[in-house]
Amino acid sequence: MEEQDNKRRIIHPASGNLWSRRDFVHLAGWGGFLTTLGITSLGTLRFMFPRVLFEPPTTFKAGFPDEYPMGMVSTKYIKDYRVWIIREPNGFYALSGKCTHLGCTPNWLDAEQKFKCPCHGSGFMKSGINFEGPAPRPLERVKIALAEDGQLLIDFGKIFAFEKGQWEDPEAFLKA
- Positions in the binding site for ligand FES (CB under 6 A): 99, 101-104, 117, 119-122, 133-135
Shortest distance, position 70 Cβ to ligand FES, whole Å: 29
C-alpha distances out from residue 27 to 12, 14, 15, 18, 100, Å: 13, 16, 16, 14, 66
Which residue, 73 or 135, has its beta carbon nearer to ligand FES?
135
Minimum CB distance to ligand FES smaller for 97 or for 174: 97
Residues contacting residue 83 through CB under 8 Å, at least 6 positions apart: 77, 94, 95, 96, 97, 142, 154, 156
Cβ neighbours around 69 below 10 Å, total: 9
Closest separation in Å from C-beta 100 to ligand FES: 8
CB nearer to ligand FES: pick between 98 and 158: 98
Min. distance of Cβ 139 from ligand FES in angstroms?
Answer: 10
The CB density around residue 3, as the number of other CB atoms within 10 Å, is 6
Q: What is the DSSP letter of 66?
A: G
Identify which of residues 68 and 162 has a Cβ nearer to ligand FES in the complex.
Answer: 162
Choice between 59 and 107, CB closer to ligand FES: 107
Q: Are 18 and 9 in contact (CB under 8 A)?
A: yes
Report in angstroms how near the CB of residue 162 gets to ligand FES at its nearest. 16
Neighbours of 122 (CB within 10 A): 23
Whole-angstrom Cα Rg for the chain: 34
- In angstroms, give the least distance from the CB of 122 to ligand FES: 4
